[in-house]
Chains A and B, each alone.
Chain A
Amino acid sequence: MGRFFNTNAFRLAALYFALFAASVLTLFAFFYLSTAGFIEGQVEQTVGAEIRGLQEQYEQLGLAGLVALVRERSLNERVDNMIYIMTDPFLHEVAGNLSGWPQRTTPVKPGWITFPFEVHTPHGTQTHTALGTQLIVGGDRLLVARDLRDATAFRQRVLSTIAWAALISLALGIVGGLLMTRQMLRRVESVANTTRHIIHGDLAQRIPLTGSGDEFDQLGSNLNAMLDQIERLMVGMRQVTDNIAHDLRTPLSRLRSRLEVTLIEKPNTARYAEVLRETIAEADQLLGTFNALLSIAEAEAGSRRDTTTTVDLAEIARNVAELYEPVADEKGLTLVINVPDTLPVRGDRHLLSQAIANLLDNALKYTLAGRVSLTVGRDGNSARIEVADSGPGIPPDRCDVVFDRFVRLEGSRSTPGNGLGLSLVRAVATLHGGTVRLQDNNPGLMVVFAFPAAPVEPLRASDARPAA
Chain B
Amino acid sequence: MVAAMKLLVIEDDREAAAYIAKGLAESGYVVDQASEGRDGLFMASSGGYDALVVDRMLPGMDGLSLIAALRAANIRTPVLILSALGAVDDRVKGLRAGSDDYLVKPFAFAELLARVEALIRRGPQIPTTTKLKVGDLELDLLARAVSRQGRAIELLPREFSLLEFLMRHAGQVVTRTMLLESVWDYHFDPQTNVIDVHISRLRQKLDKGFAHPMLQTVRGAGYRLSAE
Give A contacts to B, CB under 8 Å: 280, 284, 287-288, 291-292, 294-295, 298, 304, 319, 322-324, 326-327, 330, 350, 353-354, 357-358, 361, 364-365, 416-418, 421
CB nearest neighbor in A for B187 = A350
B60 interface residue (CB < 8 Å to A) = no
Extra pairs beyond A323-B194, A357-B190 (11, CB < 8 Å): A294-B86, A319-B184, A323-B198, A326-B198, A330-B200, A350-B88, A357-B188, A364-B192, A416-B192, A417-B191, A418-B191
Complex Cα gap A350–B198 (Å): 21
Q: Are B201 and A323 in contact (CB under 8 A)?
A: no
B197 interface residue (CB < 8 Å to A) = yes
Query: 1/0 contact trace for B65-106 toward A, CB 8 Å?
Result: 000000000000000000000111100000000000000001
B16 interface residue (CB < 8 Å to A) = no
Beta-carbon contacts under 8 Å, B180-202 to A: 184, 186-192, 194, 197-198, 200-201
Complex Cα gap A343–B192 (Å): 27
Q: Are A326 and B192 in contact (CB under 8 A)?
A: no
Given A284-B108, A326-B197, A350-B187, also A361-B192 (CB < 8 A): yes
A-B contact pairs, 28 of them (CB 8 A): A288-B189, A291-B86, A291-B189, A292-B189, A294-B86, A298-B87, A319-B184, A322-B158, A323-B184, A323-B190, A323-B198, A324-B194, A326-B201, A327-B194, A327-B197, A350-B186, A350-B188, A353-B188, A354-B186, A354-B188, A357-B188, A357-B190, A361-B190, A365-B191, A365-B192, A417-B191, A418-B191, A421-B191
CB nearest neighbor in B for A416 = B191
Complex Cα gap A319–B200 (Å): 19
* Contact of A287 (CB < 8 Å), options: B106, B158, B184, B190: B106
Inter-chain contacts of A319 with B (CB < 8 A): 184
Given A284-B108, A287-B106, A298-B87, also A330-B188 (CB < 8 A): no
Inter-chain contacts of A280 with B (CB < 8 A): 108
Complex Cα gap A421–B190 (Å): 10
Inter-chain contacts of B201 with A (CB < 8 A): 326
Q: Are A295 and B188 in contact (CB under 8 A)?
A: yes
Complex Cα gap A304–B201 (Å): 38
Q: What 8 pairs between A and B have smallest CB-CB spacing? A: A326-B197, A354-B188, A327-B197, A350-B88, A361-B191, A326-B201, A361-B192, A357-B190
* B188 nearest CB across to chain A (Å): 5
Complex Cα gap A44–B88 (Å): 93
* A304 nearest CB across to chain B (Å): 8
* Most chain A C-beta atoms within 10 Å of own C-beta, residue among B192, B194, B197, B198: B192
Give B contacts to A, CB under 8 Å: 86-89, 106, 108, 158, 184, 186-192, 194, 197-198, 200-201
Q: Are B192 and A330 in contact (CB under 8 A)?
A: no
CB nearest neighbor in B for A354 = B188
CB nearest neighbor in A for B89 = A304
Q: Are A353 and B186 in contact (CB under 8 A)?
A: yes
Inter-chain contacts of B86 with A (CB < 8 A): 291, 294
Complex Cα gap A419–B139 (Å): 42
Inter-chain contacts of A324 with B (CB < 8 A): 192, 194
Complex Cα gap A295–B89 (Å): 13
Inter-chain contacts of A294 with B (CB < 8 A): 86
Complex Cα gap A304–B86 (Å): 13
Complex Cα gap A211–B168 (Å): 69
Complex Cα gap A15–B197 (Å): 78
Complex Cα gap A319–B87 (Å): 21
Inter-chain contacts of A365 with B (CB < 8 A): 191-192
* A412 nearest CB across to chain B (Å): 12
* B112 nearest CB across to chain A (Å): 14
Inter-chain contacts of B187 with A (CB < 8 A): 350
Inter-chain contacts of B158 with A (CB < 8 A): 322
Q: Are A330 and B197 in contact (CB under 8 A)?
A: yes
* B85 nearest CB across to chain A (Å): 11
* B90 nearest CB across to chain A (Å): 11
CB nearest neighbor in A for B183 = A323
CB nearest neighbor in B for A348 = B88
Complex Cα gap A365–B88 (Å): 27
Complex Cα gap A114–B198 (Å): 118
Inter-chain contacts of A416 with B (CB < 8 A): 191-192
Inter-chain contacts of B88 with A (CB < 8 A): 350
Complex Cα gap A357–B189 (Å): 10
Complex Cα gap A291–B104 (Å): 10
* B210 nearest CB across to chain A (Å): 21
Inter-chain contacts of B189 with A (CB < 8 A): 288, 291-292
Complex Cα gap A298–B188 (Å): 13
CB nearest neighbor in A for B157 = A322
CB nearest neighbor in A for B88 = A350
Q: Are B194 and A326 in contact (CB under 8 A)?
A: yes
Complex Cα gap A364–B197 (Å): 13
Inter-chain contacts of B190 with A (CB < 8 A): 323, 357, 361
Inter-chain contacts of B106 with A (CB < 8 A): 287
Complex Cα gap A322–B157 (Å): 10
Inter-chain contacts of B198 with A (CB < 8 A): 323, 326
Complex Cα gap A327–B186 (Å): 17
CB nearest neighbor in B for A319 = B184
Complex Cα gap A357–B188 (Å): 10
Inter-chain contacts of A417 with B (CB < 8 A): 191
Inter-chain contacts of B108 with A (CB < 8 A): 280, 284
CB nearest neighbor in B for A328 = B197
CB nearest neighbor in A for B202 = A326
CB nearest neighbor in A for B190 = A357
CB nearest neighbor in A for B159 = A326
Inter-chain contacts of B194 with A (CB < 8 A): 323-324, 326-327
Complex Cα gap A324–B189 (Å): 13
Complex Cα gap A119–B106 (Å): 113
Complex Cα gap A7–B7 (Å): 61
Inter-chain contacts of A421 with B (CB < 8 A): 191
* A309 nearest CB across to chain B (Å): 12
* B113 nearest CB across to chain A (Å): 15
Complex Cα gap A416–B197 (Å): 16
Inter-chain contacts of A284 with B (CB < 8 A): 108
* A312 nearest CB across to chain B (Å): 14
